[in-house]
Amino acid sequence: MSRIRVMIADDRPIFRAGVQGMLKDFPEIDIVAEATTGQQAVERSRQLKPDVILMDLNMPEMGGIAATRAIKAEDPDRVILALTVSEAEEDIVEMVAAGASGYVLKDVDPVTLARSILDAAAGRFLLDDTLTRRVIIRLGSSLRRKPAAPLASPLTQREAEILQMVSQGKGNKAIASRLSLSEGTVKSHLRNIYRKLRVQTRAEAAAQAARMEA
């Protein structure tokens, strides 16, 4: 199994050191970089291309939400996992809408943090079921307030199957296994789905799918 290359983006040295300590006993995870500002996170993501970025929300120069949005605009496949103290629903919705693959609170235990990193790297979306439903409802409400736009082009049967599985909370690996595809092929289909739905994230795609079925 190849090691997951992780970057920690947080302005507090004591927290970055704490995360390093929490993950040192997990040989499948390799901390390759740190960033102390949102702008630095964008630059180091561009240079080092880590597999997963642990992103704090509150940092100088550029906050975590803006940094996530900038990184995903440059590289839609970059995996970003929010690691923060904020439980505010609006922060969660904004971070997910910016492109985060999940949202983990800083009081998490080492085993759960490691599992969250591995799950995010595998393409799974990380929120508990209740929170996921709330986020999708909020995103769906936001979409409904906008004038309905036609699809850029119709979804293929395969894309529709993948979108349905995304709406069910399945990760890229599970989708690939179920449909006998490679994970790379699933990612390629997802990029096409996002483009056709005019969305940027899994949660927005799920919300748009719910809106289409309504």
**Rounded to an integer, what distance in angstroms lies between the CA atom of residue 93 and that of residue 24?**
31
Given a contact cutoff of 8 angstroms between Cβ atoms, the answer to whether 58 and 84 are in contact is yes
- Give yes or no on whether 4-127 and 150-213 have one common fold: no
pLDDT of 71 reads 94
Greatest CA separation found in the chain?
A: 50
pLDDT of 150 reads 57
pLDDT of 200 reads 73
Within 13 Å, how many C-alpha atoms sit on residue 22's CB side?
19
pLDDT of 94 reads 81
- HEC letters along the chain: CCCEEEEEECCCHHHHHHHHHHHCCCCCEEEEEEECCHHHHHHHHHHHCCCEEEECCCCCCCCHHHHHHHHHHHCCCCEEEEEECCCCHHHHHHHHHHCCCEEEECCCCHHHHHHHHHHHHCCCCECCHHHHHHHHHHHHHHHHHCCCCCCCCCCCHHHHHHHHHHHCCCCHHHHHHHHCCCHHHHHHHHHHHHHHHCCCCHHHHHHHHHHHHC
How would you label 123-140 residue by residue, b for 16+ Cβ within 10 Å and e otherwise?
A: bbbbbeeeebeebbebbb
Cα-trace Rg, the chain:
17
Hey, where are the domains in the chain?
4-127, 150-213
Query: What is the mean pLDDT for each group of 10 consecutive residues in the chain (214 residues)?
Result: 89 93 93 95 96 92 91 89 78 81 84 90 68 59 52 84 82 86 90 85 73 60
* All residues at 6 or more sequence positions from 174 whose CB lies less than 8 Å from its CB, including other chains: 124, 165
CATH 1.10.1200.10 fits 150-213, yes or no: no
> Which CATH number is 4-127 given?
3.40.50.2300
pLDDT of 77 reads 83
**Rounded to an integer, what distance in angstroms lies between the CA atom of residue 30 and that of residue 23?**
8
pLDDT of 128 reads 53
Given a contact cutoff of 8 angstroms between Cβ atoms, the answer to whether 176 and 185 are in contact is yes
Given a contact cutoff of 8 angstroms between Cβ atoms, the answer to whether 54 and 19 are in contact is yes
pLDDT of 76 reads 83
